[in-house]
Structure 1
Amino acid sequence: MKVLTKLYLNASVALMAAASLNLNAAPLKINDIAPDFSATTIAGKSIKLSGLNRNKPVYLKFWATWCSYCVAEMPHLQNIYDQYGDDIEVITINVAMNDSIAKINKLFSAQGYNLPTVFDTKGKLTALFGVVGTPHHILIDRNGKIAYRTFLASDTLDAKVDGLINSTNNNLGQ
């Protein structure tokens, strides 16, 4: 019972904090064109959504180091990146609320993560994609359309990732 209470309290605090991220955000719907953006990863690499390989789907994960669900899902995302890195662009976007690059680097170093990560200092990407809570997963198909969005990683999310990768590979004759 103590574990459930602790999880409930953590989830409540995370949702309240995350809700303050962007209350005026209008979430993108499935089949909406994903808005283009430019950003720099914490490793110093420039990223432009429209500049990514358009023969690959894109997986965006909005997260924070203080979000217990976000951190618990990271091994899953690292596995997708390691297993399908040639077939999908994976980018994590830290919402930068009560967080720091030092905390991200500490977590990544301790766990061996090497995911491309953007620190959304001014919340521009969070607002652009209508994200109001963490974790938040967005899949973009190879045509630049929102294919799926969800809060928690699940079997459905995995199936959507597999479907996007398989449809991309089938269209490329692989």
Structure 2
Amino acid sequence: MKKTTRNILRVGIILSVTILLGLTLWFNLTSDTQAVQVGDEAIDFQLETLNGDSIQLSEVNSEKGVILNFWGTWCKPCREEMPDMNRIYNEGHENYEIIAINVSEDEQQINQFLSSLDEELDFPIALDRNRDVTKAYQVGPLPTTIAINKDGVVVDKKEYQLTVDDIYNFVEQSTSE
């Protein structure tokens, strides 16, 4: 290949990469979509649960605070925090509800995951098959947990494995007025 042809090719590649980077930055900086933050109103949704029922956030949240826990079967921190959540949930959940939202996995994977746990989970497992709720809440890493108080306002959001103290704090915040 001639030196001139190589130089033209290099300049073309550099220009293409620069234009693509510029467009990516422009779209990211001008996008109106923002992650749900503490202080925002919760986004309502309706999902099917693993046992075939339907669960709607606004119906549950009209009487109780809600803790949304986004998780996946492949997520080791999700596996580790679920038994603690279940134990705390079973201490009494009259004023709050935990909804574990599985992010787009099939029921066979979920059932295998659940059967591998030492104890059965007592809170509802919702199926976000199309990731609509995950996208609406702009959930990135799993697990992500969001506390919503009785007024329908997001009061806490964590994007990591919760400790027992974190779970108690989520319960407290979701039940606060």
Structure 2 length-normalised TM? 0.73
Say whether 1:153 aligns with 2:162: yes
Q: Give the Cα separation in 1 of the matches to 2:130 and 2:72.
A: 14
Amino acid at match of 1:135: P
- SS of the equivalent of 2:170 reads helix
Return structure 1 stretches of 4+ with deviation > 6 angstroms. Answer: none
Q: Kindly indicate whether the alpha-carbon contact (under 8 Å) linking 2:47 and 2:126 is maintained by their aligned counterparts in 1.
A: yes
Q: Give the Cα separation in 2 of the matches to 1:53 and 1:29.
A: 18
- SS of the equivalent of 2:150 reads coil
1:104 to 107, 110, 125: 110
Identity %: 31
Consecutive unaligned residues of structure 2, counting only runs of 5 or more, are 1-27
Greater relative CO (CA pairs within 8 A, separation 6+): 1
Q: CA RMSD in A?
A: 2.0
- 1:51 and 1:163, CA in 2 relative to 1: closer, same or farther beyond 3 A? closer
Amino acid at match of 1:49: L
Equivalent residue pairs, number:
143
Superposed CA deviations along residues 7-54 of structure 1, whole A, max 9, x for unmatched, are: xxxxxxxxxxxxxxxx98621111110011111101111111111152
Deviates more, 1:26-35 or 1:155-164: 155-164
Consecutive unaligned residues of structure 1, counting only runs of 5 or more, are 1-22, 169-174
Q: Give the Cα separation in 2 of the matches to 1:137 and 1:95.
A: 13
Structure 1 length-normalised TM? 0.74
- 1:157 and 1:74, CA in 2 relative to 1: closer, same or farther beyond 3 A? closer
Amino acid at match of 1:153: L
Q: Give the Cα separation in 1 of the matches to 2:61 and 2:146.
A: 17
Offset of residue 94 of structure 1: 0.7
For the pair shown, which has the larger CA radius of gyration, 1 or 2? 2
Q: Give the Cα separation in 2 of the matches to 1:102 and 1:44.
A: 14
